[in-house]
Amino acid sequence: MRVLWALVLLLASSACGPKTMEARLRDAERTADRASNHLDRAEKFAIQLEPKEMESALDDAKRDLAEKDIELYPEAQMHFERYKELAARLPQVKAEREKRDLELRLNKARDKIVPRVQALLEAQEALSPTAPTRALVEAVESKAKAVKEAVDDELDLFVKDADFAAWAKSQRNKVDKALEATGKAKKGVAFLEGPVTAWREGVALVADSKSKKELSDKESALREARTKLSACDRGAKPFDEDKVTGAVAFAMPSGKPLTPAQLSTACQAELKDAEAQWKKVLAALEVEKAKKKQQEEKEKAQAAKEQKARELKEAKEAKARAAQEAKDKAARAAKEAKEAKERKAREAKEARERAARELKDKQKKK
> Is residue 347 exposed (0-12), middle (13-18) or buried (19+ Cβ within 10 Å)?
exposed
- Stronger pLDDT, 79 or 192, i.e. the higher one: 192
Taking 60 as the threshold, does the pLDDT of residue 44 lie above it?
Answer: yes
Under the banding of pLDDT at 50, 70 and 90, the label for residue 360 is confident
Under the banding of pLDDT at 50, 70 and 90, the label for residue 15 is very low
CA 45 to CA 40: how far, in whole Å? 9
Residue 25's identity, in one-letter code, is L
At 254 the three-state DSSP class reads coil
Q: What are phi and psi of 349, to 5 degrees?
A: -65, -45
CA 306 to CA 243: how far, in whole Å? 75
- Note whether residue 134 is domain-resident: no
- Would you say 89 and 134 are in contact if contact means Cβ atoms under 8 Å apart? no
- State residue 13's pLDDT score: 44
- Would you say 180 and 141 are in contact if contact means Cβ atoms under 8 Å apart? no
Taking 90 as the threshold, does the pLDDT of residue 205 lie above it?
Answer: yes
Residue 277's identity, in one-letter code, is Q
- Would you say 31 and 75 are in contact if contact means Cβ atoms under 8 Å apart? no
- Note whether residue 141 is domain-resident: no
- Note whether residue 101 is domain-resident: yes
pLDDT tens across 139-173, in order? 999 999 999 999 999 888 888 889 989 999 999 99
Under the banding of pLDDT at 50, 70 and 90, the label for residue 6 is very low
Number of domains in the chain: 1
- State residue 264's pLDDT score: 94
Q: How far is CA 302 from the centre of its chain?
A: 63
CA 117 to CA 248: how far, in whole Å? 28
pLDDT tens across 251-274, in order? 998 889 999 999 999 999 999 999
- State residue 366's pLDDT score: 67
Average pLDDT score over residue span 216-244: 93
Taking 50 as the threshold, does the pLDDT of residue 356 lie above it?
Answer: yes
Comparing C-alpha atoms, which of 18, 3, 5, 22 is closest to residue 73? Answer: 5
Continuous H helices in the chain:
2-15, 20-47, 51-65, 76-126, 134-152, 162-191, 197-209, 215-241, 260-365
Average pLDDT score over residue span 114-133: 94
- Note whether residue 280 is domain-resident: no
Sign of CA dihedral 71, 75, 78, 82: negative
Q: Give the least confident one: 31-40, 52-61, 67-76.
A: 67-76
Q: What are phi and psi of 250, to 5 degrees?
A: -80, 145
Residue-wise burial string across 102-111, b where 16 or more C-beta atoms lie within 10 A, e elsewhere? eeebbeebbe
pLDDT tens across 73-110, in order? 777 788 889 989 989 999 998 988 888 988 999 999 99
CA 201 to CA 226: how far, in whole Å? 10
Taking 50 as the threshold, does the pLDDT of residue 246 lie above it?
Answer: yes
CA 353 to CA 230: how far, in whole Å? 118
At 73 the three-state DSSP class reads coil
- Would you say 42 and 58 are in contact if contact means Cβ atoms under 8 Å apart? yes
- State residue 165's pLDDT score: 92
- Note whether residue 355 is domain-resident: no
- Note whether residue 226 is domain-resident: no
Domain of residue 58 covers 2-106
Average pLDDT score over residue span 203-217: 92
- State residue 152's pLDDT score: 92
> Is residue 230 exposed (0-12), middle (13-18) or buried (19+ Cβ within 10 Å)?
middle
Taking 50 as the threshold, does the pLDDT of residue 11 lie above it?
Answer: no
- State residue 279's pLDDT score: 93
Average pLDDT score over residue span 296-325: 91
CA 90 to CA 47: how far, in whole Å? 11
Taking 50 as the threshold, does the pLDDT of residue 2 lie above it?
Answer: no
Average pLDDT score over residue span 115-133: 94
